[in-house]
Each structure stands twice: as C-alpha cells, then as structure tokens.
Structure 1
Amino acid sequence: MQVSRRRFAQGLGLLAGASALPAMAKAEVKLPDTRIETLIAQMTIEEKAAQLSILGSDAGDLDAMIKQGLGGTSGVLPDRDVYAYTRQMQQLAMQSRLKIPLWFMGDVAHGFNTEFPVPLALAATWNPELVTSVHRAAAIEATTSGVNWTFSPMLDIARDPRWGRMCEGAGEDPHLGSVMAVAQVKGFQGDDLSTPDTMLATAKHFAGYGAVTAGRDYNPTDIPPRLFRDIYLSPFKAVVDAGIGSFMAAFTPIDGVPATSSRTLLTGILRDQWGFDGLVVSDYDAVLELVAHGVAADPAHAAQLALHAGVDIDLHSGTYWKELPGLVKSGRVKMAEVDTAVRRVLTAKAKLGLFDDAFRYGNAARAKAMPFRPSHLALAREAARQAMVLLKNDGTLPLAKQGKIAVIGPMADKTADLLGPMPALGRKDNVVSMLAGISAAMQGRGSVTHVEGVSVRGDDVSGIPAAVSAASDADIAILVLGETDDMIGEGDSRAFIDLPGRQRALAEAVIATGKPTVAVVITGRAMDLTWLDGHANALVDAMICGEQAGNALADLLFGDANFSGKLPVTMPRALGQVPIFYNHLPAARPGQIDTPYTSRYVDLIKAPLYWFGHGLSYTSFDFGKPRLSGTTLAPGGTLTVTTRVTNSGRRAGATVVQLYVRDRLADVSRPVRELKGFRRVELKPGESRDVALSLTPADLAFARRDLSWGTEAGVFDVYVGEDSTATQTASFTLTTSEDMTKGNGGATVI
C-alpha cells in the first residue's frame, strides 16, 4: 500500500513508546516494573503481537479488534476530527480484557494546526531556541487533539539536492543537523514526558537514508564506513544523549544489509554502544519489504529478521501481527525476544502517563477554540522571517511601499504548496500566499498587479507577453518562481535541479524589460539558480515557509524586518557539481578551470554558486580576529574562542557567528574545515559585542584509521566568520590523543 505523504499519520495504534530523558526516565515511570511484568505474563501471543503492530484502516474491523485487544487504529487524516477519533478509539481500548491504553502517532514534522517552515527552512534560521519554540507549539496543538507520538525529527544528512526529502532535514552538515535535532526533541518532549502537552519524538531514518544513490528516493545507499561514522551517525548520537524516546529504522540497505534487518545497527550501535533504551519502529511497510530487498524468503522470515535486529514495532504492514504468533509457536522466534519488545512498548506508555490516565491527552474545548492560535501565528511569521535567505542584492532591496509593483510567476498565488510535505492538519485556506502578503503590505500605498506568466510544469509560454506588459508598466517586478509540492518530499526526487517548466524563459523575458527585478524562489532543496544570480537585481531563497510565508516575505522585502537566514546547504552552479558540500576532503591536486592535471572541470569553475552558511542582510558585519583562551587543549579541558562582532551598517540586524575547525595533520585525510559552533547575534547599528564559543576534545573526535572513535594530538586551525569561507583565523594544539570509544563519546560503532 502506498501512503500519501500529505497524510498526517501513517497509522495510529495500540502501541508503544520509548524512553524519555535519561536523567529522569525512572522518575517519570509511575507504573512499577512489577505491574509491567504482570501484564506481560497475562498477555497472549496474539495480544503481544498487536502491541508490536501499527495497523491501518485496511487491516479489517478495527473497532472490534481494539475491543479485543488485538488491533491498532487507522490513520488520522486531515478531514477527520482528530480529538473525537482518538477519544473514541481509547474508549474502545478501555473495554478490552487488559485495558492497555492506545496511543496515537503521526508525522508532526513542522506544525499541526499551525504550519511552520519545513525543517530545512528552520535550519536556515541557525536559531535552535526558535526551533525549540516552534516544536513546542506543534506539540501543544497535537496533544490537544490527543496525538502523543510524532515521527519526527528527520536527521538524515543530505548532500544530494536531487533527493526530494532534503526539505525534511537540516541540510548537509552533521553539527548543524545535531543542534537542530536536539532543539526539535526539546520542543516535542519538554522536560517531562508525562505532562499532557508533550509528546514522544522519533529520530528517523536510522541511518544513512539521505545518501540514496542517484538522489532517488528509496534507492540503496553506498556509504564508506568512516563517512558513515563521521557524518551520517552524528545527529542520531546527539539525540540519544538528549533523551529522545524512539527511533525509526531506515528503508534503505547499507552495504547490502537493509537497516530494518541490521542487528549491528539497531542493537549493536544503538543499544549496546550508545545505551539507547527506548523504542525502535520500522518505516512504513519496511518489515514486509525485506522480502523485496531479497534478504527475507517470505513475510514470516521478514518478521523474524526484523524483530531479532531490534525493530520493536512494525509500521502498517501487519507482518508482526500476522506472523509472530506462528513464529513463536513453531520455535523460530523465542517468546523472550517478543517480551523484550513488548516491555519497551509498555514502559514507553507508562512514561507518557497513559497507565495513570488513558485520556490525559486531548482537550475538546482547546481543540475547538485553539486559544494558542494567535501566538502560534506570530511565531510562524517570525520563524519564516528568520528562515528566508537573501542570496544577492545590488541595493534594489528593501523596496519602498509606493508606486507600481508587478508580482509575476506561477508560485506567487500558491497556498497549498507553501504548507510543505506532511502538513498534519494544516489547511491551504489558512496560508498567506506571497502575492497576498505583498498586496497587504502595499494596501493604500500603491498598486500591485499579478500575472502568472507560465505554469510550473509544461511548455505553454502564451502568458509571457502579459507578464512582460505588466513588468513594463511597473516600477519594479517581483518574480515568484520555484517548485510545487509534488516535486518535493517523500518519493519526489528530481533528475534536474534548475527551475522546472518554462520559468527560466519567463524570467528572461521579464528581466529583459530593464525594470528592476527581485527573484523569489520557493523550494525545498538546493537549486541551480545560476542564471537568476547573474541577471536578477536581488535573489531570495524563500524556502517553504508555511502559512505565514507571504507576510514574512513582505516584511523582509519592504524592510520592516531584516534578512538573517543562512544557507544550511551548498548551492551548486550546475547539476554536474552534485554532490557538493563544504566539508569535503582535500584534493591532492587542487586547481582551477585553466590548470591541467588538477582537480577541476574543464567547462565550469568548481566553486559553488553560494557557500554553506551564506546569507546577506540590509546591514554589514565586521569580525575581529579570534582570540583563544589558550594555545593548548588537554583532555577534559575547554578552549574558548572569542570574536568581536560589529554592526558596521546603518540598520539593526542579526548575523550568525560561525566557528569552523581544520585538523592540519592526522592518520587519515580530514575535511578542509568543519563547523563546530555557531551563535545568532542581534546588533544595533554601530554596536559591537564579544561572542564566545567553546571547543572540547570531544568536538575534535573522528573515526580514526582503525575506525575507533577518538582524537589525535596535533595542531588545529579555527576560522570565525559569517559563512564557511571565513578567513579570520587562529590556531591551537591538542596536546594528547584520546580514545573515546569506551566512554561512548561519539558516533562510533562496535
């Protein structure tokens, strides 16, 4: 069964959860372990298999199954009263023999009722406190309707913009990805999972899914072991340390072994190495798909492999529900292995407080009135303002609220496309389009004309003359271009990453009028915007910024707010540069386009169009040389890197101080530089401030030649500035090599 990615939930079930923050997990569990063991002893194998299964509405008579303690519930869809549904299903569960409560899960990825910017756009804020606030708001809304488990955050590092799911993560960098992941977990889970406005978070997809070959969704991955440890595992380790409650195994195989059947990954690394004691759920139908991968002979074999690997819950396929009873009775699966998974399920439900009050989540009055809505809308507008990135500006921006403005392009009046993939209960009727936002800001001060020009797809250019006429008659043209929702997200990879359809032709015709032109691009990936960069007066990466996107864009274009977003991905000049990322290994023969026998292209410079971390403002910032608290760093120590930042322009604004490190010499080749810290800082015109960032030996650890996790003594360079090309530098010496494998200090494997 193919799931629509616009569904809010892939299934709601009788099912389980996971651990909360390690320091408080035991205190949160109000149901004593003896009660859990008593329940397990009373359960039949059929009831246990049901606890380990999330079933959809296509599984049969769910109402009857739930009353018998033998089934899950169907997915929550946008056209359903979620509160009424979750309440009704829980009432049925309370009529079952053992009265084990249901819990309700879904993709609360970037909002619930209120739609915020997608995760890639939130990463562009480089503001973890804001990201925590956004996901706190999403949790409040979701739990008000009775939903208490989210299949977020997505932690997949994405270096190939052809992959449609780049928009669901934090981009290309493991440090930025780790910080944003922890911020999301804090927002969802709060300080106490048992409170009725927090929800269980899920780290997905464990691991390496973002490296699908050819950028094509669901494709296999081919990741070298060291790269897997250094880059792709890092955000997952960070959220384990932060106390995330559940993990979702990836669809994809790594070195020929599907993650859903990898005991090395799901038990060896996750549990034995990292100490994770929470819950592991499969991806949608992934247990059954072990047969398609060619590693399971049949569904029973698939269930056996997945359970042994460490998958506690089968999402949707029904394979556990159908096959586990027979596997246990035949002796192919031990009851103790089933009980271990069931124990995690019941413990997770206890941590959510469901055994104390099965109806603790959900509030009919709040779900109907949504008293939080005004403050959440204000938060959505601020998040969108901080997420949009000003890539280029020749002084055309900010605009004056006067005269004639022509808003041109197929994305100008779109609403549903601004919601982003998996928008939960977000409604397109609530979305402020780019046209609507600009028009509202101009109300009574000038005129706004809109012409679509071309569609996003197709070759019809008959609307271009009207667009040219509108631009010619206007004082300024705003081109709103980009990708529609069906080109972005799960299952929607692209072979080309430039503007689809005839949007380039539209842009050429409008810019040829000679009128000042601002290009605004709505996208969920790094795109090839080379032509627009060379010809538009200003260029804005508007990302996918949710229901307040139009108001936020108007705030920025007219200067009521200042741009501060920074790219979480590297922007290529052409598809041929992909994959392209800032933290690459050094080439033995670096060179330029005109230098033969070097690492080059003969037909294009190798530098990206825009570097990771890039983003302009209406003001300017100067950075002082970094000052170090010492010249050496020893085990257990901390090195403080301080830089003085000055707003040297005439407007108040915010920038992001970015700290990069380069390891000069190691036993294996190390990246040319790596992000190790950052901080967003707001400054008034002429204001200066010292910004301090810290480094510890753990920040310098990597997978060494023998793949053990640790550090190597030596000299390190630090760079501080506004993007990954920062030139202000200093150096220090790490005095001692340190093995951190036993201390569980990094993204290592057993």
Structure 2
Amino acid sequence: MDIDVLLKQMTLDEKIDQLMQLAAFLFDGASHEGEITGPLSDLGISNRTIHNSGSVLGGSGASEIKNIQASHLKTNRLKIPLLIMADIIHGYKTIFPHNLALSCSFDPGLVEETAKIAAKEAAVSGIHVTFAPMVDLVRDPRWGRVMESTGEDPYLNSELAKAFVRGFQGENIQTSKYSIAACVKHFAAYGAIEAGRDYNTVNMSERELREVYLPGYKAALDENAQMVMTAFNTVDGKPCSANKDLMRYLLRDEWGFDGVIISDWGSIRELIPHGVAEDEKNAAALAIEAGVDIEMMTSTYVSYLKELIEEGIIEESRVDESVRRILNLKKTLRLFENPYRFLDENKAKDIIFSEEHRLVARRAAEESIVLLENDGVLPIQKDDDVGLIGPFAESQDLLGPWSWIGDRDDVETIAMGMNKVLSKPFHTQSIQSVHTIKEEEMLGSIEVAKKVDKVILALGESSDMSGEGGSRSKIELPEVQLELLKKIHEVNKDIVVVLINGRPLDVTRVIPFAKAVVEAWFPGSCGGSAIGRILVGDKNPSAKLTMSFPDSVGQIPIYYNHHNTGRPYDHNNPHNRYVSKFIDGPNKPRYPFGYGLSYTTYAYDNLNLSQPVLTDNETINVSISVKNTGKRLGDEIVQLYLRDHVGEVVRPLKELKSFEKVRLAPGETKIVTFTISEEMLRYTHSDLRYSSDYGEFSVFVGTSSANTLEASFKYQMESEEN
C-alpha cells in the first residue's frame, strides 16, 4: 500500500474523519448500536463521520469487533480499515496483578511475559492497539491511578516500560504473531498532579521534568512503542493536548518520534474549561498545531478543521501529516493486507483464559505479594485451625480497575485459595461490604475468631476506590474495617491481615493489632491461590515495594530518592527544632522503596569495589556477598544505589541504578556483582545538559533503599593522580 497515493485519493472530509476516534457502540455491527442517538447528538457528528472514522475505542470480543470492521469496510469509500484500540492494562481476560503490584516483582522478564499474554488474548479478539503501558512516575498515593504505574523510581520505571512494550509488540511489531501496538501514556508527568487529585495541575521545572518524569516515556519509545497518549494535566501552564513545546518540539523534533499521538478521552474539548481555548474551534486549532493526530471522543476536529483550513488559520498539511501517521500505523500492522489481523473466533476459545495463562497469572501474583510484617505467625501450618474473616474473605473483587474484559465469576477467591492449601476445613465469615458491617456479620466474625488458633483478616479497598477518578484524601482502611480488626484482636491476638488494594495505604492503625501484614494488592484472576500459597509457605514471598508507604497522609508526597536540605534532620540530635522535620511524626515512611520481608533471612557482607577511582573509559565492579541465614529457600532482590555528593544542582540522597534477583538455598552464599560506568552518573544540569560531574560518590547495596552497606569511590579525569 502506497500511503501517499492513498492520501491523494482522500477528500478533505475523509482525511479529517480519519482523525476521529469513537466508542465501539456507535458503529454498525456493535452489540449495542441501538444506543447511539443521544451520543451522536451530543458529539454533533453524522453517520458519514462514523463510516469514515479512523479508529474505534473498545469492542467486547472477537465477534463484535469482526462485525464492526466488516460493516465499516462496506461503507468506507476507500476501504480503509479501522484501528481497534482498547485499555488492555494488566490483562485481557486473564487478569494479572495491576501494574504497581507487578512492579514489586522487580522482574522485567515476568512483566514482559504478562504483557505478551495480554497481547495474545487481545489480538485474537481483534484488538490492534492497547492504551498501555502507563509509565507516569508516581509519588502521591492519594492518586487512584498509582495502581496503573510502576512506582516512584525513574530507573525501574524505565526498565519496566521497555518490558511492557516488548511484551505487547514482540520483537517486530510487523511480523510478531499476536502482537499489538503499545500506546505510552500519559504524556507527560500526569503522575505529578497536585494533591493526587485526578485531572489536576502539574507544576515543575523543566529540569525536574526531564530528569525524573520523562525517562520512562523515552525508554518506551526507544523500545519502538508505536503511539503516545496526551495527559489531561497542564505542564508549565499549558494543557498537554495543546502543548506545542511538549508534543511537537520535544517529542517530535528532539526525540524524533513520528508515531501517532492520541488525545485522552475528551481532552481536546477540555482545553475550554482549562482556559486556553475560547471555544471548540480554537481548541481544534491548538491541538492540531501541537501535533495531536487523533481526537478521542470529542468532535472539535470534524466540526472545525475544514473551516480552519478554509480560513487559512491551519494549513491542510497539518491534517495530512496526521493522517499519514495514522495510515502508516495501519500499514505497519498490515491491516491493508488483512483488516482482521490475528482475529480468530475459534482460536480465541482455546487461547483466552487458558490453563497456561492462568498459571502465569498465579505466578505473577505470588511474585507481587509483599510481606510487610511478620511476628512469627506466618507461614501458617497446613493443619492449623484457621478462621478467614473480612470483606475480601470470599469476595471476587480481586481484579481491580481496568480489568473490563475480566470476569469476576472466573476469579479464585481467598477462600478458594485457602481451601486448596490447608489440610483441614477452616472457618469463614464473609462480610458483604468494605464500608459497612452488619451486626450479624460482626458477631459472626467474633465467634469465628474465638474458636480458631489463627485469624486471616482480609481487608482493603474495593476496586472502585482506586483507579481513574479514585483519588482519596484519606488512605486508611475504612473505619468499620479498623473497628472489626480491634474487636477481633480482643478475642484472638494471632491475626494475619491480608490487604487488597490499589495504592499504598496508611496502615499505622493496623500494625498494633496484627502479627503479620501481607500486601496482596489486587492480585488478579488467580489471586486466591497465590495468597493461599504465600500464607502457608508453599511460596516464600520475595516482592519489594516500588512505592513508599507513608506513616501518615501528612507526609505525602514521600519517596526515597528525595533531595537533602540545608538543614537536614540529625538522628543524633532528634530534639533540634530548627531542621527539616515534622514535630508530630517521623520524616521516614512506614515502609520505604525496596522494602519487603521473607520467611527466611539474608545477611549482606563484604562490599567491595574493584578500584577506588572511576574514569571515563573504565568501569568499577561492585561485589557483595549475600547469604541465606534462614531455613527456607528464598529469592532476594539485591539493590544498588548511588549518591553524587556534590552536584551542579542538588542531587538525591540515593538513586537506584541496578538490581538483581538471586535464589539462595538455606545456608548458601552468593557473590552478586554490579558494574558502575560513567553513564550511570549522568543527570540533568540547570542548563538541561545531560552529563556527569567529577567528584565523590557513594555506592549502597542492600535489601532496601533504607537498609544497605556503603562504600565510596571518586570519579575523575584519567590523567588526574589518585
């Protein structure tokens, strides 16, 4: 297919319609096409626009998508196929732990494997593009969408961004079987919204934007991600969908991205309430000039671009370049050769939610569950007398937000998981709501707790308490759940709290009443089995937090890689008032980045550097011995951090630069080696240069960002004497 030839055959109206993305139910062949009258009127679009539209949002299953595409090809004059896009965030039908949970595995290979399975299930169902990965770096757990992110660290965020893209797109997006195109979001810095309140403002320097928030997007694009989605927020006072500096100059010109940029849902029309566009016509002009190719679910382009061109405000070439990018993506995906690509209703029955995929989902959940506390009560013995209580004891609400194809009826509950691993029956008392507890449920829970040796108390957030639109000003458990915990504690002290949630929580009022706390997140389709296997020790927990848990909501934003101040807190003089500290609580988080316990213990020793000086053309090998000092096989995530003591601008106290997961038998010792190069010392200077500085550096290696051994080295010119 010659794209330039096709483009010349298109009328201006047909080209503009290619820039419109509409929801699947508006199209002929959709399951609910009878509902379109209101939306069509609201959008101000015609059937002509639908028949010429370039892409579809959503579509539930192979049959519906096949019908939509077939109907479209009958009515589209030039037989240009639709791009079918959907939110495949952490699984299609087989739902994996949400992204923040999955990141706690510190395992790019596992992340890639889950994305590959999600792509396979989506592709065989007819989907061409996923609105993932979300690589927004996050520091504020009040924001509900932290569950879609991979945490607070730029390096880990970048490594996992690449893994997601590789999984979705395969080695070659054109030739890899069951591949789908990745759309990186939300460009840019959506994770830095003020107060963690969705759709809010972002305000930061360009230097911080480049150093902390942009690396994840750049890493995904370097892995050849095909699309970028704009963010709802402002950057430097400009909404992203109209931010020419961000989209056209940085993304297009500086980074060389020539793929498709799509707005988020309705964000072009939202330029009006933002206050940068006076009306829809102005909004369309600003967005197309900024380089946004596809408008999602508003109609400013189809309503006003032709008029703007006729008035000479916008050059038709702006529309042509956007259409060319869209058509090129369709060509890359070989849709002109086969508009249905990998869609296969018969194969879908065997592939989707297969046993093979469910086993990976269980393993992914096991590798994502973080053991936060354990006072010897875990692992549970398989013949213990156990009670399972709480709103998540038998709940199938384990999938979390953005699992719209996932079916709760397929979910393994915690009760199902415990039934598989315990050797004797256990007592249960389920509670129907996370927000209210009936009197009979409370009394039943207390009676269960009285007659068992150990209580598993399954608490947390319902899925609608996080995700998009799920911002919370308070991030504790609902008050009724805390009251339940206290009442159970009055009759049984051996309590294991299992948390189901999408964000870091304030668990300060949980800790005094629990002998163990297990962060299970929203663990996905096979979460019940994974939790059961963790609780009885069939799987030794190894996951580490990728986002700090605050000690109280007043500390937020709190993150490990913060800057020092001119008056840092002095642990040797804690009563000094005139330093950077809270007078009513600690500076430290409850649980820091990189933290996670195990059923065994590890000893770190003999941190050695191969040489005390680093030059431009050399490297330093950092080695450390890690010993399993306990009685169980375990996987330990060894983490390496660096600190630049004197920079041209203030530098973080620690920055993750590498990690390695090692498996150790009881009593076994392994030497873990990392390599430090000059490239790892680079950062963004005040003039936006990305380079390193000569000087003193510290290297930290350990089990978390707060528990490390330390050594130092000097980075200097090669000719400089030691």
TM-score range, shorter chain: over 0.9
Tell me the residue number matched to 1:505. Answer: 483
**Equivalent residue for 2:96, pick from 108, 112, 116:** 116
Q: TM-score, normalised by structure 2?
A: 0.93
Tell me the residue number matched to 2:168. Answer: 188
Q: What is the CA distance between 1:61 and its match in structure 2? A: 6.6
Q: What is the CA distance between 1:294 and its match in structure 2? A: 0.9
Amino acid corresponding to residue 87 of structure 1 in structure 2: K
SS of the equivalent of 2:140 reads coil
SS of the equivalent of 1:512 reads helix
Q: In the TM superposition, what are the counterparts of 1:317-332 in structure 2 within 5 Å?
A: 317-332=298-313
Amino acid corresponding to residue 268 of structure 1 in structure 2: Y
**Equivalent residue for 1:160, pick from 140, 147, 163:** 140
CA distance in 2, matches of 1:321, 1:59: 16
Tell me the residue number matched to 1:346. Answer: 327
Per-residue CA distance 1:683-735 (angstroms, 9 max, x = gap): 21222222222333232222212232222111211100110013312222222
User: Contact 1:460–1:502 (CA<8 Å) still a contact in 2?
Assistant: no
Tell me the residue number matched to 1:170. Answer: 150
Tell me the residue number matched to 2:505. Answer: 527
CA distance in 2, matches of 1:297, 1:636: 56
Q: What is the CA distance between 1:66 and its match in structure 2? A: 7.4
CA distance in 2, matches of 1:351, 1:156: 27
Q: Which runs of 5+ in 2 are unaligned?
A: 31-45
Q: How many residues align?
A: 698
Per-residue CA distance 1:395-421 (angstroms, 9 max, x = gap): 111111114211111122211x21111
Tell me the residue number matched to 1:141. Answer: 121
Amino acid corresponding to residue 643 of structure 1 in structure 2: I
User: Contact 1:566–1:613 (CA<8 Å) still a contact in 2?
Assistant: yes
User: Contact 2:27–2:50 (CA<8 Å) still a contact in 1?
Assistant: no
SS of the equivalent of 1:105 reads strand
User: Contact 2:431–2:437 (CA<8 Å) still a contact in 1?
Assistant: no
CA distance in 2, matches of 1:339, 1:640: 52
Instruction: Determine whether 1:476 maps to 2:454.
Output: yes
Per-residue CA distance 1:414-462 (angstroms, 9 max, x = gap): 11x21111114110011011122112322xx223222235831147566
Amino acid corresponding to residue 12 of structure 2 in structure 1: I
CA distance in 1, matches of 2:337, 2:238: 41
CA distance in 2, matches of 1:432, 1:637: 52
**Equivalent residue for 2:52, pick from 66, 70, 76:** 70
CA distance in 1, matches of 2:115, 2:619: 31
Instruction: Determine whether 1:201 maps to 2:213.
Output: no
Per-residue CA distance 1:250-300 (angstroms, 9 max, x = gap): 000112110111111011111211122211111001111111111111111
**Equivalent residue for 2:601, pick from 620, 627, 631:** 620
Tell me the residue number matched to 1:730. Answer: 711
Tell me the residue number matched to 1:21. Answer: none
Amino acid corresponding to residue 470 of structure 1 in structure 2: V
Q: 1:61 to 1:375 in 2, by over 3 A?
A: closer
CA distance in 2, matches of 1:37, 1:693: 50
Q: More deviation in 421-430 or 632-641?
A: 632-641
Amino acid corresponding to residue 45 of structure 1 in structure 2: L
CA distance in 1, matches of 2:50, 2:580: 66
CA distance in 1, matches of 2:55, 2:324: 21
SS of the equivalent of 2:371 reads strand
User: Contact 2:55–2:85 (CA<8 Å) still a contact in 1?
Assistant: no
CA distance in 2, matches of 1:62, 1:367: 19
Instruction: Determine whether 1:707 maps to 2:688.
Output: yes
Tell me the residue number matched to 2:241. Answer: 260
CA distance in 2, matches of 1:711, 1:92: 57
Tell me the residue number matched to 1:432. Answer: 412
Amino acid corresponding to residue 521 of structure 1 in structure 2: L
Q: What is the CA distance between 1:131 and its match in structure 2? A: 0.5
Q: What is the CA distance between 1:228 and its match in structure 2? A: 1.5
User: Contact 2:280–2:300 (CA<8 Å) still a contact in 1?
Assistant: yes
Q: More deviation in 479-488 or 314-323?
A: 314-323
Tell me the residue number matched to 1:38. Answer: 5
Q: What is the CA distance between 1:598 and its match in structure 2? A: 1.6
Tell me the residue number matched to 2:256. Answer: 275
**Equivalent residue for 1:50, pick from 2, 8, 17:** 17
Tell me the residue number matched to 2:38. Answer: none
Instruction: Determine whether 1:451 maps to 2:433.
Output: no
Per-residue CA distance 1:107-160 (angstroms, 9 max, x = gap): 000000101100001001111100000000000100001101000000111111
User: Contact 2:17–2:49 (CA<8 Å) still a contact in 1?
Assistant: no
Amino acid corresponding to residue 297 of structure 1 in structure 2: E
Q: What is the CA distance between 1:85 and its match in structure 2? A: 1.9
SS of the equivalent of 1:463 reads helix
Per-residue CA distance 1:597-636 (angstroms, 9 max, x = gap): 1222222122211111100111111223333343333335
**Equivalent residue for 1:688, pick from 669, 675, 687:** 669
Per-residue CA distance 1:314-362 (angstroms, 9 max, x = gap): 1111222222222222222111111111111111111111122222220
Aligned CA RMSD, in angstroms, stands at 2.0
SS of the equivalent of 1:54 reads strand
SS of the equivalent of 1:104 reads strand
CA distance in 2, matches of 1:52, 1:361: 24
CA distance in 1, matches of 2:456, 2:52: 57
Q: 1:663 to 1:656 in 2, by over 3 A?
A: same
Instruction: Determine whether 1:84 maps to 2:69.
Output: no
CA distance in 2, matches of 1:370, 1:58: 25
Instruction: Determine whether 1:559 maps to 2:559.
Output: no
Q: 1:691 to 1:429 in 2, by over 3 A?
A: same
User: Contact 2:241–2:267 (CA<8 Å) still a contact in 1?
Assistant: yes
Q: 1:332 to 1:200 in 2, by over 3 A?
A: same
CA distance in 1, matches of 2:589, 2:49: 59
Q: 1:534 to 1:590 in 2, by over 3 A?
A: farther
CA distance in 2, matches of 1:364, 1:617: 44
SS of the equivalent of 2:582 reads coil
Tell me the residue number matched to 2:398. Answer: 418
Q: More deviation in 313-322 or 168-177?
A: 313-322
CA distance in 2, matches of 1:60, 1:300: 25
Q: 1:454 to 1:76 in 2, by over 3 A?
A: closer
Per-residue CA distance 1:510-557 (angstroms, 9 max, x = gap): 112234110111111111111222331111111111011110000010
Q: More deviation in 680-689 or 164-173?
A: 680-689
Q: 1:90 to 1:709 in 2, by over 3 A?
A: same
Amino acid corresponding to residue 689 of structure 1 in structure 2: K
CA distance in 2, matches of 1:735, 1:132: 38
SS of the equivalent of 1:691 reads strand
Per-residue CA distance 1:653-709 (angstroms, 9 max, x = gap): 101010100001112111110111111111212222222223332322222122322
**Equivalent residue for 1:220, pick from 201, 204, 221:** 201
Amino acid corresponding to residue 572 of structure 1 in structure 2: P
Q: In the TM superposition, what are the counterparts of 1:324-723 in structure 2 within 5 Å?
A: 324-370=305-351, 373-415=354-396, 417-442=397-422, 445-452=423-430, 455-458=433-436, 463-591=441-569, 594-635=575-616, 637-723=618-704
Q: 1:535 to 1:272 in 2, by over 3 A?
A: same
Q: What is the CA distance between 1:70 and its match in structure 2? A: 1.7
SS of the equivalent of 1:438 reads helix
User: Contact 2:28–2:71 (CA<8 Å) still a contact in 1?
Assistant: no
Q: Which runs of 5+ in 1 are unaligned?
A: 1-30, 738-750
The percentage of aligned residue pairs carrying the same residue is 39
Per-residue CA distance 1:547-575 (angstroms, 9 max, x = gap): 11110000010011110010011111111
Q: What is the CA distance between 1:578 and its match in structure 2? A: 0.9
